[in-house]
Amino acid sequence: MIQRRSKSFSLDRMVKVGILAGISYLLMFIQLPIPIAPPFMKVDFADVPALIGGFAMGPWYGVLIQLIKNVLNLSKTMTGGVGELSNFVVGSTFVLVSSLIYRNKKTRKNSILALILGVIAMSAVATLSNAFVVFPIYSKVMNIDLEAFAGMIPGNSLVKNYITLMIFSVAPFNIIKGAIESIVTQILYKRISPSLKF
């Protein structure tokens, strides 16, 4: 009886993970450009379902939602999977850090702290991974010189070269994206979480 109940709970969670991953995938299509970033970097809300899932069911469920979302997105990739790998690593950092901190003390105050620290961790990982892995690979795939990326943002006068691109474009972009997704998560979590918990 206990074993059957445990399997039921496990199946129930997998169904919820699948639903959240599907919503997350669909949200990837709703994109908002930010003038400070290159045109191929846009804000979406695809991390929100993973954050909600991570908060309600546990950190690794949130990471699993991120994985499924990016595997689904491979069907329409234009980066040879590089963009999806980057999205998974960066998004999983956000979800994992936030969910681990929130799990220790499930209060509104701690959820805010967890999301702030998650945004900081995500932004750091995103900036470093983009600077040394993603942009170099993307430049080879698209046959673009690394310094040419800086010229894609005429509206950001602080961007002069590749280094300032990372400091004044990529890092702020991820902070803004993370902040927006954190606010949406705060608004939706308490309304949705009861249906995700046991």
Classify 130 as helix, strand or coil: helix
State pLDDT tens for residues 86-120: 899 999 999 999 999 999 999 999 999 999 999 99
Question: Quick check: 150 and 165 in contact, CB under 8 A?
Answer: yes
- pLDDT tens for each residue of the chain, 198 residues long: 444 444 445 788 889 999 999 999 999 999 998 888 888 888 999 999 999 999 999 999 999 999 999 999 988 877 677 788 889 999 999 999 999 999 999 999 999 999 999 999 999 999 999 999 888 988 887 788 888 888 888 778 889 999 999 999 999 999 999 999 999 999 998 888 777 764
pTM of the shown model: 0.89
